[in-house]
Protein backbone atom coordinates (compact mmCIF):
# COMPACT_ATOMS: atom_id res chain seq x y z
CA UNK A 1 0.00 0.00 0.00
CA UNK A 2 1.40 3.39 -1.01
CA UNK A 3 1.80 6.14 1.60
CA UNK A 4 -1.05 8.61 2.12
CA UNK A 5 -0.67 11.73 -0.02
CA UNK A 6 -2.33 15.04 -0.79
CA UNK A 7 -4.27 14.47 -4.00
CA UNK A 8 -2.71 16.66 -6.73
CA UNK A 9 -5.81 16.33 -8.93
CA UNK A 10 -9.07 18.23 -8.39
CA UNK A 11 -11.95 17.16 -10.65
CA UNK A 12 -14.66 18.88 -8.62
CA UNK A 13 -13.52 22.51 -8.53
CA UNK A 14 -11.85 25.19 -10.65
CA UNK A 15 -8.06 25.41 -10.57
CA UNK A 16 -7.17 28.08 -8.01
CA UNK A 17 -3.42 27.37 -7.86
CA UNK A 18 -1.45 28.77 -10.82
CA UNK A 19 1.19 26.07 -10.34
CA UNK A 20 -1.48 23.45 -11.04
CA UNK A 21 -2.94 25.17 -14.08
CA UNK A 22 -1.85 23.38 -17.26
CA UNK A 23 -2.14 24.21 -20.94
CA UNK A 24 -4.17 27.08 -22.44
CA UNK A 25 -1.10 29.25 -23.02
CA UNK A 26 -2.59 30.99 -26.07
CA UNK A 27 -5.77 31.81 -24.13
CA UNK A 28 -3.78 33.12 -21.16
CA UNK A 29 -1.78 35.29 -23.55
CA UNK A 30 -4.99 36.71 -25.06
CA UNK A 31 -6.46 37.51 -21.64
CA UNK A 32 -3.28 39.16 -20.40
CA UNK A 33 -3.21 41.34 -23.51
CA UNK A 34 -6.78 42.44 -22.75
CA UNK A 35 -5.75 43.37 -19.19
CA UNK A 36 -2.76 45.30 -20.53
CA UNK A 37 -5.03 47.24 -22.89
CA UNK A 38 -7.42 48.11 -20.06
CA UNK A 39 -4.57 49.34 -17.88
CA UNK A 40 -3.55 51.63 -20.74
CA UNK A 41 -7.03 53.13 -21.18
CA UNK A 42 -8.03 50.94 -24.11
CA UNK A 43 -10.94 48.99 -22.59
CA UNK A 44 -11.50 45.57 -24.12
CA UNK A 45 -14.44 43.60 -22.79
CA UNK A 46 -13.74 39.86 -22.93
CA UNK A 47 -15.72 36.63 -22.75
CA UNK A 48 -14.12 33.21 -22.30
CA UNK A 49 -16.23 30.58 -24.10
CA UNK A 50 -16.17 26.81 -24.40
CA UNK A 51 -18.06 23.60 -23.75
CA UNK A 52 -19.31 22.71 -20.28
CA UNK A 53 -16.48 21.35 -18.15
CA UNK A 54 -13.77 22.66 -20.47
CA UNK A 55 -12.13 24.90 -17.83
CA UNK A 56 -13.70 28.34 -18.36
CA UNK A 57 -14.08 29.09 -14.65
CA UNK A 58 -10.48 27.99 -14.01
CA UNK A 59 -9.15 30.40 -16.65
CA UNK A 60 -11.40 33.18 -15.35
CA UNK A 61 -10.10 32.62 -11.82
CA UNK A 62 -6.49 32.61 -13.04
CA UNK A 63 -7.18 35.89 -14.88
CA UNK A 64 -8.43 37.41 -11.64
CA UNK A 65 -5.23 36.34 -9.85
CA UNK A 66 -3.08 37.96 -12.54
CA UNK A 67 -5.18 41.16 -12.40
CA UNK A 68 -4.59 41.31 -8.64
CA UNK A 69 -0.80 41.03 -8.97
CA UNK A 70 -0.08 37.28 -8.98
CA UNK A 71 2.56 36.63 -11.66
CA UNK A 72 3.02 32.90 -11.06
CA UNK A 73 1.05 31.77 -14.13
CA UNK A 74 2.59 34.15 -16.72
CA UNK A 75 6.05 33.36 -15.32
CA UNK A 76 5.29 29.64 -15.60
CA UNK A 77 4.36 30.09 -19.28
CA UNK A 78 7.11 32.61 -20.01
CA UNK A 79 4.58 35.33 -20.93
CA UNK A 80 5.64 38.97 -20.83
CA UNK A 81 2.80 40.82 -19.08
CA UNK A 82 4.11 44.25 -20.13
CA UNK A 83 4.44 45.62 -16.58
CA UNK A 84 6.05 44.40 -13.33
CA UNK A 85 2.60 43.43 -11.99
CA UNK A 86 -1.06 44.40 -12.26
CA UNK A 87 -3.11 45.92 -9.49
CA UNK A 88 -6.80 46.29 -10.35
CA UNK A 89 -9.86 46.72 -8.20
CA UNK A 90 -11.72 43.47 -8.90
CA UNK A 91 -15.35 42.44 -8.38
CA UNK A 92 -16.86 39.00 -9.06
CA UNK A 93 -20.39 37.72 -9.65
CA UNK A 94 -21.57 34.16 -10.35
CA UNK A 95 -24.74 34.37 -12.41
CA UNK A 96 -27.67 32.32 -11.17
CA UNK A 97 -30.28 30.89 -13.53
CA UNK A 98 -32.62 33.53 -14.90
CA UNK A 99 -30.79 36.55 -13.50
CA UNK A 100 -30.79 39.80 -15.44
CA UNK A 101 -28.72 42.99 -15.48
CA UNK A 102 -30.16 44.30 -12.19
CA UNK A 103 -29.12 41.18 -10.25
CA UNK A 104 -25.69 41.07 -11.89
CA UNK A 105 -24.85 44.76 -11.44
CA UNK A 106 -26.15 44.76 -7.85
CA UNK A 107 -24.12 41.65 -7.06
CA UNK A 108 -20.97 43.23 -8.48
CA UNK A 109 -21.37 46.49 -6.56
CA UNK A 110 -22.09 44.70 -3.29
CA UNK A 111 -18.98 42.62 -3.88
CA UNK A 112 -16.88 45.77 -4.32
CA UNK A 113 -18.38 47.35 -1.23
CA UNK A 114 -17.56 44.32 0.93
CA UNK A 115 -14.06 43.75 -0.50
CA UNK A 116 -12.90 47.36 -0.60
CA UNK A 117 -14.77 48.88 2.33
CA UNK A 118 -11.73 50.84 3.47
CA UNK A 119 -11.09 52.39 0.05
CA UNK A 120 -14.81 53.06 -0.51
CA UNK A 121 -15.64 54.42 2.96
CA UNK A 122 -16.44 57.86 1.50
CA UNK A 123 -18.08 56.51 -1.67
CA UNK A 124 -21.79 55.71 -1.91
CA UNK A 125 -22.65 53.19 -4.61
CA UNK A 126 -26.22 53.74 -5.80
CA UNK A 127 -27.10 50.33 -7.28
CA UNK A 128 -30.06 48.81 -5.44
CA UNK A 129 -31.81 45.66 -6.60
CA UNK A 130 -34.97 46.59 -4.75
CA UNK A 131 -35.21 49.88 -6.63
CA UNK A 132 -34.97 48.20 -10.01
CA UNK A 133 -37.47 45.51 -9.15
CA UNK A 134 -39.94 48.32 -8.44
CA UNK A 135 -39.04 50.10 -11.68
CA UNK A 136 -39.39 46.89 -13.68
CA UNK A 137 -42.95 46.43 -12.41
CA UNK A 138 -44.14 49.67 -13.97
CA UNK A 139 -41.69 50.36 -16.78
CA UNK A 140 -40.72 48.49 -19.96
CA UNK A 141 -37.54 46.42 -20.15
CA UNK A 142 -35.91 49.12 -22.28
CA UNK A 143 -36.67 51.87 -19.76
CA UNK A 144 -35.56 49.73 -16.83
CA UNK A 145 -32.25 48.82 -18.51
CA UNK A 146 -31.64 52.42 -19.58
CA UNK A 147 -32.00 53.69 -16.00
CA UNK A 148 -29.89 50.82 -14.69
CA UNK A 149 -27.12 51.65 -17.18
CA UNK A 150 -27.09 55.28 -16.06
CA UNK A 151 -26.66 54.42 -12.39
CA UNK A 152 -24.26 51.54 -13.03
CA UNK A 153 -21.99 53.77 -15.13
CA UNK A 154 -22.05 56.45 -12.44
CA UNK A 155 -20.98 53.86 -9.88
CA UNK A 156 -18.32 52.51 -12.26
CA UNK A 157 -16.98 56.06 -12.66
CA UNK A 158 -16.78 56.38 -8.86
CA UNK A 159 -14.84 53.11 -8.67
CA UNK A 160 -12.56 54.34 -11.46
CA UNK A 161 -11.76 57.49 -9.49
CA UNK A 162 -11.07 55.43 -6.36
CA UNK A 163 -8.72 53.25 -8.40
CA UNK A 164 -6.93 56.31 -9.76
CA UNK A 165 -6.65 57.96 -6.33
CA UNK A 166 -5.15 54.79 -4.86
CA UNK A 167 -2.76 54.24 -7.77
CA UNK A 168 -4.63 51.15 -8.99
CA UNK A 169 -4.67 50.09 -12.64
CA UNK A 170 -8.44 50.25 -13.05
CA UNK A 171 -11.60 48.28 -12.37
CA UNK A 172 -12.52 44.81 -13.64
CA UNK A 173 -15.96 43.21 -13.40
CA UNK A 174 -15.64 39.42 -13.48
CA UNK A 175 -18.83 37.52 -14.36
CA UNK A 176 -18.97 33.71 -14.44
CA UNK A 177 -21.72 31.53 -15.95
CA UNK A 178 -22.99 34.37 -18.15
CA UNK A 179 -24.92 31.90 -20.30
CA UNK A 180 -27.27 31.33 -17.33
CA UNK A 181 -28.56 34.90 -17.56
CA UNK A 182 -32.07 35.54 -18.81
CA UNK A 183 -31.58 36.44 -22.49
CA UNK A 184 -34.88 38.37 -22.52
CA UNK A 185 -34.04 40.50 -19.49
CA UNK A 186 -32.18 43.15 -21.46
CA UNK A 187 -28.76 41.81 -20.44
CA UNK A 188 -27.27 42.21 -23.94
CA UNK A 189 -28.55 45.78 -24.20
CA UNK A 190 -27.10 46.47 -20.76
CA UNK A 191 -23.59 45.35 -21.75
CA UNK A 192 -23.76 47.18 -25.08
CA UNK A 193 -24.89 50.48 -23.53
CA UNK A 194 -22.41 50.33 -20.65
CA UNK A 195 -19.56 49.60 -23.09
CA UNK A 196 -20.55 52.65 -25.16
CA UNK A 197 -21.35 55.05 -22.33
CA UNK A 198 -18.24 54.62 -20.17
CA UNK A 199 -15.83 55.90 -22.86
CA UNK A 200 -18.12 58.90 -23.43
CA UNK A 201 -17.74 59.60 -19.70
CA UNK A 202 -13.93 59.40 -20.15
CA UNK A 203 -13.89 56.20 -18.06
CA UNK A 204 -11.48 53.99 -19.97
CA UNK A 205 -9.92 51.81 -17.28
CA UNK A 206 -13.06 49.76 -16.56
CA UNK A 207 -14.10 46.53 -18.33
CA UNK A 208 -16.04 43.28 -18.09
CA UNK A 209 -14.30 39.89 -18.19
CA UNK A 210 -16.87 37.08 -18.46
CA UNK A 211 -17.16 33.35 -19.01
CA UNK A 212 -19.95 31.32 -20.59
CA UNK A 213 -20.53 28.19 -22.63
CA UNK A 214 -20.03 28.19 -26.38
CA UNK A 215 -22.96 30.04 -27.89
CA UNK A 216 -23.36 32.45 -24.96
CA UNK A 217 -22.79 35.46 -27.20
CA UNK A 218 -25.08 34.04 -29.90
CA UNK A 219 -27.75 33.60 -27.24
CA UNK A 220 -27.46 37.27 -26.32
CA UNK A 221 -27.52 38.30 -29.98
CA UNK A 222 -31.19 37.34 -30.05
CA UNK A 223 -31.83 40.37 -27.84
CA UNK A 224 -29.16 42.72 -29.27
CA UNK A 225 -27.65 41.87 -32.65
CA UNK A 226 -24.45 43.89 -32.19
CA UNK A 227 -23.44 42.41 -28.81
CA UNK A 228 -20.79 40.25 -30.53
CA UNK A 229 -18.83 43.43 -31.32
CA UNK A 230 -18.85 44.40 -27.64
CA UNK A 231 -16.91 41.37 -26.43
CA UNK A 232 -13.61 39.89 -27.50
CA UNK A 233 -14.21 36.14 -27.64
CA UNK A 234 -11.50 33.90 -26.18
CA UNK A 235 -12.63 30.34 -27.03
CA UNK A 236 -11.18 27.41 -25.10
CA UNK A 237 -10.72 24.29 -27.23
CA UNK A 238 -10.58 20.79 -25.86
CA UNK A 239 -7.26 19.65 -24.42
CA UNK A 240 -4.65 18.29 -26.80
CA UNK A 241 -2.91 15.02 -26.08
CA UNK A 242 0.18 16.99 -25.05
CA UNK A 243 -1.79 19.14 -22.60
CA UNK A 244 -3.40 16.01 -21.17
CA UNK A 245 0.01 14.46 -20.60
CA UNK A 246 1.17 17.69 -18.96
CA UNK A 247 -1.65 17.46 -16.40
CA UNK A 248 -0.98 13.77 -15.71
CA UNK A 249 2.80 14.19 -15.46
CA UNK A 250 2.53 17.24 -13.22
CA UNK A 251 0.15 15.44 -10.85
CA UNK A 252 2.16 12.23 -10.66
CA UNK A 253 5.42 14.15 -10.19
CA UNK A 254 3.97 15.96 -7.18
CA UNK A 255 3.50 12.67 -5.32
CA UNK A 256 6.60 10.93 -6.65
CA UNK A 257 4.91 8.43 -8.98
CA UNK A 258 6.23 7.20 -12.31
CA UNK A 259 3.98 5.87 -15.07
CA UNK A 260 3.79 3.81 -18.22
CA UNK A 261 3.97 6.02 -21.31
CA UNK A 262 0.61 4.63 -22.47
CA UNK A 263 -1.20 6.23 -19.52
CA UNK A 264 -1.47 9.78 -21.00
CA UNK A 265 -2.65 8.34 -24.34
CA UNK A 266 -5.36 6.21 -22.69
CA UNK A 267 -6.42 9.12 -20.49
CA UNK A 268 -6.67 11.46 -23.47
CA UNK A 269 -8.79 9.00 -25.46
CA UNK A 270 -11.20 8.42 -22.61
CA UNK A 271 -11.50 12.05 -21.50
CA UNK A 272 -12.15 13.37 -25.03
CA UNK A 273 -10.12 16.49 -24.27
CA UNK A 274 -12.09 17.59 -21.17
CA UNK A 275 -10.06 18.51 -18.05
CA UNK A 276 -12.49 17.13 -15.47
CA UNK A 277 -12.26 13.45 -16.55
CA UNK A 278 -8.45 13.82 -16.79
CA UNK A 279 -8.28 14.96 -13.17
CA UNK A 280 -10.76 12.29 -12.09
CA UNK A 281 -8.80 9.51 -13.80
CA UNK A 282 -5.51 10.84 -12.41
CA UNK A 283 -6.93 10.91 -8.89
CA UNK A 284 -8.37 7.40 -9.08
CA UNK A 285 -5.20 5.94 -10.65
CA UNK A 286 -3.20 7.22 -7.69
CA UNK A 287 -5.70 5.66 -5.29
CA UNK A 288 -5.50 2.19 -6.84
CA UNK A 289 -1.75 2.20 -7.46
CA UNK A 290 0.17 0.13 -4.87
CA UNK A 291 3.77 0.11 -6.12
CA UNK A 292 4.53 3.72 -7.12
CA UNK A 293 4.37 2.90 -10.84
CA UNK A 294 1.08 3.61 -12.61
CA UNK A 295 0.47 1.10 -15.38
CA UNK A 296 -2.38 0.07 -17.67
CA UNK A 297 -3.82 -2.23 -15.01
CA UNK A 298 -4.14 0.77 -12.69
CA UNK A 299 -5.83 2.74 -15.48
CA UNK A 300 -8.38 -0.01 -16.11
CA UNK A 301 -9.11 -0.38 -12.41
CA UNK A 302 -9.48 3.39 -12.00
CA UNK A 303 -11.90 3.57 -14.94
CA UNK A 304 -13.92 0.71 -13.43
CA UNK A 305 -14.10 2.48 -10.05
CA UNK A 306 -15.28 5.71 -11.64
CA UNK A 307 -18.06 4.07 -13.64
CA UNK A 308 -19.27 1.62 -11.00
CA UNK A 309 -18.71 3.59 -7.77
CA UNK A 310 -17.40 7.17 -7.88
CA UNK A 311 -19.64 8.54 -10.64
CA UNK A 312 -22.25 5.81 -10.95
CA UNK A 313 -25.11 7.85 -9.49
CA UNK A 314 -24.30 10.91 -11.60
CA UNK A 315 -23.98 8.89 -14.80
CA UNK A 316 -27.17 6.99 -14.03
CA UNK A 317 -29.00 10.29 -13.59
CA UNK A 318 -27.63 11.57 -16.92
CA UNK A 319 -28.92 8.45 -18.64
CA UNK A 320 -32.37 8.97 -17.10
CA UNK A 321 -32.34 12.63 -18.14
CA UNK A 322 -31.74 11.53 -21.72
CA UNK A 323 -35.35 10.41 -21.95
CA UNK A 324 -36.95 7.09 -22.74
CA UNK A 325 -37.69 5.12 -25.89
CA UNK A 326 -35.92 6.50 -28.96
CA UNK A 327 -33.63 8.66 -26.81
CA UNK A 328 -32.17 5.57 -25.16
CA UNK A 329 -31.54 3.93 -28.52
CA UNK A 330 -29.75 7.05 -29.75
CA UNK A 331 -27.37 7.23 -26.77
CA UNK A 332 -26.75 3.48 -27.04
CA UNK A 333 -25.82 3.91 -30.70
CA UNK A 334 -23.44 6.73 -29.77
CA UNK A 335 -21.86 4.56 -27.05
CA UNK A 336 -21.29 1.76 -29.56
CA UNK A 337 -19.35 3.99 -31.94
CA UNK A 338 -15.61 3.30 -32.02
CA UNK A 339 -14.56 6.88 -31.41
CA UNK A 340 -15.52 10.05 -29.58
CA UNK A 341 -17.14 12.10 -32.34
CA UNK A 342 -20.17 10.26 -33.66
CA UNK A 343 -21.57 10.95 -37.16
CA UNK A 344 -25.33 10.93 -37.66
CA UNK A 345 -24.88 8.38 -40.44
CA UNK A 346 -23.68 5.85 -37.85
CA UNK A 347 -26.62 6.56 -35.53
CA UNK A 348 -29.01 6.11 -38.46
CA UNK A 349 -27.50 2.76 -39.33
CA UNK A 350 -27.78 1.58 -35.72
CA UNK A 351 -31.37 2.65 -34.98
CA UNK A 352 -32.74 2.09 -38.49
CA UNK A 353 -34.13 5.58 -39.04
CA UNK A 354 -33.32 8.46 -41.33
CA UNK A 355 -31.83 11.61 -39.82
CA UNK A 356 -35.00 13.67 -40.20
CA UNK A 357 -36.91 11.04 -38.20
CA UNK A 358 -34.88 11.72 -35.04
CA UNK A 359 -33.56 15.27 -35.55
CA UNK A 360 -35.86 16.63 -32.85
CA UNK A 361 -34.54 13.98 -30.47
CA UNK A 362 -30.98 15.11 -31.12
CA UNK A 363 -31.96 18.72 -30.45
CA UNK A 364 -33.61 17.67 -27.20
CA UNK A 365 -30.51 15.73 -26.08
CA UNK A 366 -28.40 18.82 -26.75
CA UNK A 367 -30.86 20.98 -24.79
CA UNK A 368 -30.78 18.50 -21.89
CA UNK A 369 -26.98 18.70 -21.73
CA UNK A 370 -26.42 15.03 -22.67
CA UNK A 371 -24.66 15.57 -26.00
CA UNK A 372 -23.29 18.52 -27.96
CA UNK A 373 -22.81 19.21 -31.64
CA UNK A 374 -19.18 19.37 -32.76
CA UNK A 375 -19.95 20.10 -36.39
CA UNK A 376 -22.72 19.57 -38.93
CA UNK A 377 -23.78 15.95 -38.50
CA UNK A 378 -21.22 15.20 -35.75
CA UNK A 379 -22.09 14.79 -32.06
CA UNK A 380 -20.37 13.72 -28.83
CA UNK A 381 -21.29 13.10 -25.18
CA UNK A 382 -20.97 16.11 -22.88
CA UNK A 383 -19.63 13.74 -20.21
CA UNK A 384 -17.39 11.23 -22.03
CA UNK A 385 -17.69 8.82 -19.09
CA UNK A 386 -21.37 8.30 -19.95
CA UNK A 387 -20.21 6.20 -22.89
CA UNK A 388 -18.31 3.92 -20.52
CA UNK A 389 -21.34 3.71 -18.22
CA UNK A 390 -23.66 2.67 -21.06
CA UNK A 391 -21.17 0.10 -22.29
CA UNK A 392 -21.00 -1.31 -18.75
CA UNK A 393 -24.65 -1.22 -17.68
CA UNK A 394 -26.61 -0.76 -20.91
CA UNK A 395 -29.59 1.52 -21.43
CA UNK A 396 -32.88 1.93 -19.61
CA UNK A 397 -35.62 -0.40 -20.81
CA UNK A 398 -38.76 1.72 -21.10
CA UNK A 399 -41.74 2.17 -23.34
CA UNK A 400 -41.22 4.64 -26.14
CA UNK A 401 -42.46 8.14 -25.40
CA UNK A 402 -44.13 10.42 -27.91
CA UNK A 403 -41.47 12.28 -29.88
Fill in the DSSP letter of residue 21: -
Are residues 301 and 328 both part of a single domain? no
What pLDDT, in 10s, does the model give residues 132-153?
A: 555 454 455 566 788 889 999 9
207 found inside a domain: yes
Are residues 32 and 75 both part of a single domain? yes
Last residue of a domain, one of 175, 208, 235: 235
Are residues 82 and 211 both part of a single domain? yes
- The number of folded domains in the chain is 3
Q: What is the mean pLDDT of residues 175-204?
A: 90
Q: What is the mean pLDDT of residues 70-96?
A: 95
Q: Name the residue range of residue 336's domain.
A: 322-393
Residues 6+ positions from 335 with CB-CB distance below 8 Å: 386, 387, 390, 391
Are residues 89 and 185 both part of a single domain? yes
Residue 403 has pLDDT above 50, yes or no: no
316 found inside a domain: no
Q: Which of 334, 364, 328 is nearest to 348 (CA)?
A: 334
Are residues 229 and 259 both part of a single domain? no
Kindly report which listed range (209-218, 255-264, 331-340) carries the lowest average pLDDT score.
209-218
Are residues 296 and 331 both part of a single domain? no
68 found inside a domain: yes
* pLDDT for the residue 118: 80
Q: Which of 203, 269, 207, 262 is nearest to 241 (CA)?
A: 269
* pLDDT for the residue 125: 80
234 and 49 Cβ atoms separated by less than 8 Å: yes
Are residues 186 and 286 both part of a single domain? no
Are residues 65 and 155 both part of a single domain? yes
Are residues 131 and 225 both part of a single domain? yes
Are residues 189 and 248 both part of a single domain? no
Fill in the DSSP letter of residue 140: -
The fraction of the chain above a pLDDT of 70, given in percent, is: 90
117 found inside a domain: yes
Residue 398 has pLDDT above 60, yes or no: no
Are residues 298 and 164 both part of a single domain? no
Are residues 143 and 211 both part of a single domain? yes
Residue 297's pLDDT band (boundaries 50, 70, 90)? very high
What would you measure as the largest C-alpha separation in the chain, in angstroms? 71
Residue 326 has pLDDT above 90, yes or no: yes
Q: What is the chain's mean pLDDT, rounded? A: 88
Amino acid sequence: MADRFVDPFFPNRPVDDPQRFSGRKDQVEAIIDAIYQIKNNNPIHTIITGDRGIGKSSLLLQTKLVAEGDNVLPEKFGIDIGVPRYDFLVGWHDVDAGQGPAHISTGLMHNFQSLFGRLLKNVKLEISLGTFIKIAKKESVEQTVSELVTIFCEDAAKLSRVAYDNKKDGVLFFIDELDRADAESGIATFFKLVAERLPRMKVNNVAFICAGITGAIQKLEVEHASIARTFKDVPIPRLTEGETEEIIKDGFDKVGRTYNNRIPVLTYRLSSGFPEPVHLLGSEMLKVDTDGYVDETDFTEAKERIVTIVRRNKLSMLLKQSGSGKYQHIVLAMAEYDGTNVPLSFISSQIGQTQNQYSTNMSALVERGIIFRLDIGIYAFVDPLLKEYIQKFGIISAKSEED
